[in-house]
Amino acid sequence: MEQLHLIKRTMEIRAAGENAALATIIRTKGSTPRKTGSKMIIFPSGRIEGTIGGGCGEAEVIEKAIEVIQSSNPAKHIVDLTKGLFYEDGGICGGIMEVYIEIVLERGI
């Protein structure tokens, strides 16, 4: 089970004293490359594990996740894939997805 595997990885990353962010798709509308619950881990270097669909939308989330790591505040990001049909940079799926980004190291909940 991929969801559980990535959560397990966040536990390992935290146990190793590293920091990273976990991005999860929490809502989708229309046609999106991946569905609700899909996850991706983002390291401060920009390296990723897992995917929320690739392309520009994923790149936006990576950028946002690095901000989350720096600020330690969870955030949400909306990826809009409805505009890109005639651009070269992909994103032609036609849907919108909402991504929740949280850090792996936390104030200890």
Partner 1 sequence: MMNDSLYLNLSESIKQRKEVFLLTITDCDNHELIGRKVLLNPMGEIYSTSPFPPSLQQMIINYSEKLIRKKRSGTFTFSWNGSMVECFAEHFPVPIHLIVAGAGHVCEPVAMIGKSLGFYVTVIDDRKEFANRDRFPHVDEVVCQSFLHFFQKAELTAQTYILLLTRGHKYDVLSLQELLNRKEKPAYIGMIGSRRRISGVFEQLKNDFPNESFDHFFTPVGLDIGAQTPAEIAISIMAEILKVKNQASGVSLSTKFHKFTRMGFREGAILWNNFT
Residue ranges that bind partner 1, judged by CB under 8 A: 1-4, 7-8, 10-11, 14, 22, 24, 26-27, 30-31, 36-37, 73-74, 76, 94, 98, 100, 102-106, 108-109
**Smallest Cα–Cα separation from 6: which of 14, 95, 59, 61?**
14
26/44 with CB nearer partner 1: 26
**Whose Cβ is closer to partner 1: residue 62's or residue 93's?**
93
How far apart are CB 70 and partner 1 at their closest, in Å? Answer: 16
Q: Which residue has the tokens 């790591």?
A: 69
**Shortest distance, position 54 Cβ to partner 1, whole Å:** 18
Q: How far is the CB of 7 from partner 1 (least distance, A)?
A: 6
Q: Judging by beta carbons within 10 Å of its beta carbon (0-12, 13-18, 19+), is residue 85 exposed, middle or buried?
A: exposed
Residue 64: name the closest of 40, 83, 87 by CA: 40
In the chain, alpha helices (H):
2-15, 55-71
